[in-house]
Amino acid sequence: MEKRQQIYEGKAKKVYATDDSRFVIVSYKDDATALDGLKKGTIAGKGAINNRMSNFLMRLLEKHGVPTHFVDELNDRETVVKKVSIVPLEVIIRNVSAGSFAKRFGVEEGIVFESPTIEFSYKNDELHDPLMNSYHAIALKVATREEIEYIKELAFKVNEVLKEYFLSLDVRLIDFKLEFGKLEDGTIVLADEISPDTCRFWDAVTNEKLDKDRFRRDMGGVEDAYKEMMHRVLGE
């Protein structure tokens, strides 16, 4: 497959057209942003780690029956994925209180929920990704009722698969964000990435943070945390 012109540049990835209109190539950057874009920086080696870890997890999910955009890893930073139109919802699953949930409800981090929670944010930088419930999404034609139901079902399935997998690596999956995309024929698949940028990972023994919170909160040891997650997932 031939890489053609760049069609999009986001905060952490670039997207290129290819000679086949069904596919695009994503290229992961080391750039990191947080706090609604206010905090900017780079995390050395992050692009390669996120690319490879996300591809590994997408393959694992495919094995468990979750359809994804993943097609082929080209190199450390670049992957062929199916071209989708992104459903403009950030789908957030939580197993344990943390981050904006803890803040919004005035509770400490670390409360283990009996059942996972789900919430949506409307992907819109100008509006700062406001919370959106399923009725809002349907009213604004962001997705149909059936699409939302299917997205929820897939998101909880992803949680079950990943929670168990990470626990086997002595990692607690606290919460994470997913994005879904629609293929030309309307099929919904898991898209974007699953990485320490988009998940909260706590060491199962020490509760040490092994994710982007170290960057968001200026805790130091950011690169080492990403490398540690890479090591546990890919053994290198």
Would you tell me which residues interact with ligand UDP (CB under 6 A)? 90, 92, 98-101, 175-177, 198-200, 212
User: CA of 125: how far to CAs of 12, 37, 129, in Å?
Assistant: 14, 9, 6
Q: Which is nearer to ligand UDP, 52 or 214 (CB)?
A: 214
User: The tokens of 201 are what?
Assistant: 């990972």
Least distance CB 206 / ligand UDP (angstroms): 19
- Minimum CB–partner distance for residue 196 and ligand UDP (Å): 8
Residue number, nearest CB to ligand UDP: 99
Burial class (CB in 10 A: 0-12, 13-18, 19+), 229: buried
Nearest-5° angle of CA 42, CA 73, CA 13? 30
For residues 116 and 174, give the distance between their C-alpha atoms in angstroms, rounded to a whole number. Answer: 10
Q: What CA–CA distance (Å, rounded) separates 114 from 82?
A: 36
Between 222-234 and 46-63, two packed helices, what is the crossing angle to 10 degrees? 30
CB 67, min distance to ligand UDP, A: 21
Give me Rg for the CA atoms of the chain: 17
Least CB distance from residue 93 to ligand UDP, whole Å? 8
CB of 104 to ligand UDP, least distance (A): 9
